[in-house]
Amino acid sequence: MINRARASALLAGGAAVGTLGLPAFAVPKPVRGLNKIDHIIVIYLENRSFDHLYGLFPGADGLAHAAGAAPQADASGTPYATLPPFKNRPLDAAQPSLELPPLPNKPFDLAQFVPLDRGLNASFEQANNYYQAQAAINGGKMDGYVAVSGSPVMGYYDGSSLPMWQYAKEFVLADRFFQAAFGGTGMNHAFLFSGGPARWPDAPAQLVAQVAADGKLIKDGLVTPDGFIINNLSAEQTAMAPPQTTPHIGNRLDGAGI
């Protein structure tokens, strides 16, 4: 069993950011019962929308509340008469391709085209980057997901057979959880442990996005023009990026003596 001190050390070391120049933290007053807590477990899911797996969960703010959502629209803003047909391979080329016919412009049961056990191992996402995620959200209209990623994003499963469905029934289900930042894994993990994105102010030009004055994307990149890391870096790129100095949750815990 990992004790509290060891877990704190692992958390502090795992973030791989600098600790120089951090402010001193006041030691908080003892909290009654805190000594009874051995572990805090954060289940951090990604690459699936809430409705994709839990939209049918009883009592949740899920698919039953989606009837009033705006229909998906094409790049010109015109609602699709039907969702466009789709045929493509998933991000993992070892998984089978998916082919969808034209479908009504609304959420649909994906199991009729690919079973749940196969669908969980295949991802066709294309809006998992910073600028593409904003295009899909489209200023809050939420109608650009199909235009950016294709019709599979409107598919859902009955997730009641999944083990985590049972955990949700026993504990809690965050049906109104929203990601911290536009896009994918790396930046959202940075927000999770430090409350902000990593910086790379002098990143190589080939990694930096180019954005027009009106905000339209000219060339995609991993780093914004003002030096924030927004998309996932490869191992080689991570080694090139500068050490980070933003205080993170491990620093805060260590500074508070927890």
3-class secondary structure for the chain?
Answer: CCCHHHHHHHHHHHCCECCCCCCCCCCCCCCCCHHHCCCCCCCCCCCCCHHHHHCCCCCCCCHHHCCCCCCCECCCCCECCCECCEEECCCCCCCCCEEECCECCCCEEHHHCCCHHHHCCCCCCCCCCHHHHHHHHHHHCCCCHHHHHCHHHHEECCHHHCHHHHHHHHCCCCCCCCCCCCCCHHHHHHHHHHCCCCECCCCCHHHECEECCCCCEEECCCECCCCEECCCCCHHHHHHCCCECCCCHHHHHHHCCC
Indicate if 96 and 156 belong to the same structural domain. yes
Q: Which of 153, 170, 187 is the last residue of a domain?
A: 170
Beta carbons within 8 Å of 6's beta carbon, 6+ residues apart = none
The model's pLDDT over 205-245, given as tens digits with 9 standing for 90+, comes to 999 999 999 888 999 999 999 999 999 999 999 999 999 99
**For residue range 50-97, what is the model confidence (pLDDT) as tens digits?**
999 999 999 999 999 888 888 999 999 999 999 999 987 666 667 767
Residue 26: what pLDDT?
A: 63
Same-domain pairing of 56 and 166: yes
Residues 132 and 59 in one domain: yes
Q: Is residue 128 located within the same domain as residue 54?
A: yes
Tell me the sheet residues that pair with 109: 156
Q: How does pLDDT run across 136-151, given as a tens digit for each residue? A: 999 999 999 999 989 9
Same domain, 68 and 136: yes
According to the model, what pLDDT value does residue 16 have? 38
Q: What is the pLDDT of residue 24?
A: 58
Distance between CA atoms of residues 240 and 79, nearest Å: 44
| Domains identified in the chain, total number | 2
Say whether both 192 and 165 belong to one domain: no
Supply the pLDDT for residue 98.
Answer: 83
Phi, psi of 66 (to 5 degrees): -95, 0
Q: How far apart are CA 135 and CA 74, in angstroms?
A: 11
Distance of alpha carbon 17 from alpha carbon 245, whole angstroms: 6
- Burial class, 124, CB count within 10 angstroms (exposed 0-12 / middle 13-18 / buried 19+): buried
User: Residue with structure tokens 């023009």?
Assistant: 225
83 with 147, same domain? yes
Give the domain range for residue 149.
50-170
pTM: 0.79
Work out the average pLDDT over 40-56.
84
- 23 & 129 share domain: no
State what percent of residues in the chain have pLDDT above 90: 57
Average of pLDDT values for 23-47?
75
Of the residues 170, 189, 209, the one at which a domain ends: 170
Together in a domain, 101 and 119:
yes
β-bridge mates for residue 79, sequence order: 73
75 and 24 together in one domain = no
Does 234 lie in the same domain as 164?
no
Indicate the average pLDDT of the chain.
Answer: 84
Asked whether 229 and 199 are in contact (CB, 8 A), the reply is yes
CB-side neighbour CA atoms (13 Å) of 164:
10
d(CA 35, CA 21): 30
Per DSSP bridges, beta strands 217-219 and 155-156 are unpaired
Q: What does the pLDDT average to over 156-169?
A: 93
Residue 11 is predicted with a pLDDT of 34
* Cβ count within 10 A of residue 41: 5
Domain boundary among 121, 149, 170: 170
Are 164 and 192 in the same domain? no
